[in-house]
Structure formats: C-alpha cells, structure tokens
C-alpha cells in the first residue's frame, strides 16, 4: 500500500494511492498520518476502508510529505561504503547519528530555499524509514523490522560549511527551512521485495549526479532501528534518514554547490520521484 497526503501546507488530507496517478480519500476515517495514527496500528485497516471507493485523479493537487511533522528526524551519516570513499573517510564501525529539525519536513515537489549566507548547499537522495510503533530496547533486527511502518524518498539537504567547517554538531548544517523534502508517498514494507536492492538517483538539471543502490549500505534499516532503540525511544511516525550514495556536491572535483535556479530530480525504485526548484 502507498500512503500520501494531498492539499495545501497545513491542510493536507490522508489518502491511499491507486495506480500511479489516482487516489482514494480516507480523511473521513483517518484524521492524518501522524503519531496517533501510527500508534493506533490502523495501517492494516486502510485497504478495507479504501475498498469500493471511487479513485480520483491527483492532477495538479499538491502532494505533501506522506507523514505529518514527526516527533523527531534522526539521520545516519556515511552509511554507504562508496559515499564514505568519495569523502575520504573511513567506513564507520557504528552508525553515525545526528538529528535534523522536524520542521524541515515538506512536500516532495515544494521549492527548496537557499539559506541566508549559504555558500555550500548540497543534495543527498536517501531512503527514509518511518517508525510504526513506540519502541525501546528492541531485542533484535526481527523486532526492528516489525516496528517499521514503511519507506519513503527523502532529500537530506545540507549546508556543508555550517555542517563541517563551523565545528560542533552536524545538525546546524542540516536544519535550515525546507531541508527535508519527503515523499511522494509512504510505501509499506510488503510492497518491496528487498529494501536492500533499490536503485537510487539524483539529477541536478540535466546532469546525473548520484547513481547508487541501497545494496551498498553499511547498516541496514533493520540494524539501524534496532541500534537506535538501545539509546533512545523511537516514537510512532518518527523519520530516519539512512544515508546517501556517492555523487554529492562536496565529493565532486571540483565541488559543486546549489546557489538558486537549479532543478533537482531524485528518486528510489518503487518509492517514487521528487522534483524541486532551488530558490536563492
């Protein structure tokens, strides 16, 4: 099943995707795809709720983030072997954890803004993991898989000068407004044959910058969820950005960064495609 939210910012309605371009409105049965919804365990009911209803075309309707603002956005750094190599850093022995402000989340096709005084704004196509239940101290990866509500595409936008050169935590280079486009939909685990075999890409204009696969992840989604649960409590609807493949701007020679006027197109097989204008 693919879940999406449609409508203007702050007024999105929950829906179920049918085919590639039609949807079924379920807002009369579900308030939103938020913490309360995921905690209720009602995802399984959505298929029966949607059954027999007439699909409507998405058309020009805005697609929002497939989840309402999460309790937290947790991010894993250097989680692709080939990306670690392009940055000249060692493959981590344990997941590198940083956080991103929850108010960075937005729709997959909304404009992204160049922050004030930014000089090194960068892109990162990533697999997003959405938590489906409150969990802490999970026993193993099997329990972790059971705690995953679904997967989505995210663009973990970054300001590299602030992230790396301004010292301290990475979060200040990750949390500018609009820095976490998500969607277009949340795909439940049963829709994916193998989450560790998904092709990924990102284009800047007509130039392919990132080509990768989740197969080169250092730590799998199940490992990450289990690992994080040993240190903090994961809440329903939380989002985990799981790292990016090679081809980010800072890894190019010479480096390439975003200054406004560019168009980003990115996607993951089975999870959909995003398209954003960069506004300076």
Q: Which element (helix H / strand E) includes 49? A: helix 46-50
pLDDT of residue 90: 81
CB 235 within 8 A of CB 71: yes
DSSP-based three-state secondary structure for 276 = strand
CATH number of 73-279: 3.90.850.10
Domain assignments of the chain as residue spans, ordered by start: 2-57, 73-279
Compute the distance between CA of residue 134 and CA of residue 132 in angstroms, rounded to an integer. 7
Output the pLDDT for position 88.
Answer: 75
The pLDDT value recorded for residue 85 is 75
Tokens of 73: 């956005």
Distances (CA, A) of 198 to 120, 255, 259: 28, 27, 30
d(CA 144, CA 131): 9
C-alpha distances in Å from residue 239, one per residue of 1, 119, 249, 260, 279: 18, 27, 24, 27, 25
pLDDT value of residue 182: 98
pLDDT of residue 167: 83
Query: Could you list the mean pLDDT of each consecutive 10-residue stretch along the chain, which spans 280 residues?
Result: 97 96 96 96 92 95 98 95 76 93 98 97 98 98 98 98 89 96 98 97 98 96 98 98 96 96 98 98
- Can you give the pLDDT at residue 83? 75
């Amino acid at each position: 099943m693919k879940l999406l939210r449609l409508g203007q910012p702050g007024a999105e309605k929950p829906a179920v995707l049918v085919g590639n371009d039609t949807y079924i409105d379920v807002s009369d049965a579900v308030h939103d795809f938020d913490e309360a919804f995921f905690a209720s365990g009602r995802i399984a009911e959505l298929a029966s709720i949607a059954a027999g209803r007439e699909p409507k075309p998405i058309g020009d309707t805005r697609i929002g983030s497939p989840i309402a603002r999460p309790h937290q956005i947790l991010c894993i750094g250097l989680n692709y072997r080939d990306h670690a190599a392009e940055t000249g850093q060692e493959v981590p022995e344990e997941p590198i954890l940083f956080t991103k402000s929850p108010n960075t989340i937005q729709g997959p096709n909304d404009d992204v803004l160049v922050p004030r005084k930014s000089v090194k704004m960068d892109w990162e196509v990533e697999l997003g993991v959405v938590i489906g239940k409150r969990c802490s101290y999970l026993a193993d990866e099997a329990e972790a898989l059971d705690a995953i509500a679904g997967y989505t595409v995210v663009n973990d936008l970054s300001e590299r000068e602030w992230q790396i050169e301004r010292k301290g935590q990475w979060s200040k280079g990750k949390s500018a407004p609009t820095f976490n486009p998500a969607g277009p939909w949340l795909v439940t685990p049963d829709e994916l044959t193998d989450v560790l075999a998904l092709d990924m890409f990102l284009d800047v204009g007509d130039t392919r910058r990132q080509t990768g696969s989740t197969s080169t992840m250092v730590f799998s989604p199940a490992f990450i969820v289990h690992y994080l649960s040993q240190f903090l409590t994961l809440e329903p609807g939380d989002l985990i950005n799981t790292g990016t493949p090679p081809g980010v701007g800072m890894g190019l020679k010479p480096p390439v960064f975003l200054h406004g006027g560019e168009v980003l197109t990115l996607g993951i097989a089975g999870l959909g495609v995003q398209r954003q204008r960069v506004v300076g």
